[in-house]
């Protein structure tokens, strides 16, 4: 079995003030991922998700599908999981 991974994604577009963070948190509940999502000062949203590769990829695919009309670009960076999260949280 492969190792757990960590993905950091920066979403640009109409992603603040439109329920973007709440939607990513809702999708995380059933995806088997942990992590966090927060607004950044430049108007983008940063998402960090950790879990098994298939779970994380499926989660990112659901975000891309459900929020496609809000996302202009996404910058993804992958690495090994740090296991710092016990659940998925919205950062305020």
Q: To which H or E segment does residue 29 belong? A: helix 20-29
Q: Point out the catalytic residue in the list 21, 62, 68, 70.
A: 21
Annotated active-site residue 21? The verdict is yes
Catalytic residue selected from 38, 39, 62, 89:
39
- 12 is a catalytic site residue: no
Q: From 17, 23, 15, 85, select the one nearest 60 (Cα to Cα).
A: 23
Active site residues: 21, 39
């Amino acid at each position: 079995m492969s190792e757990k991974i960590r993905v950091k994604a920066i979403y640009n577009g109409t992603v603040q003030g439109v329920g973007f963070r709440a939607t990513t948190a809702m999708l995380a509940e059933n995806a088997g991922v942990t992590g966090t999502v927060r607004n950044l000062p430049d108007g983008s949203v940063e998402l960090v998700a950790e879990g098994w590769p298939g779970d994380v990829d499926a989660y990112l695919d659901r975000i891309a599908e459900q929020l496609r009309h809000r996302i202009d670009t996404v910058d993804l960076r992958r690495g090994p999981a740090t296991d710092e999260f016990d659940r998925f949280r919205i950062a305020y």
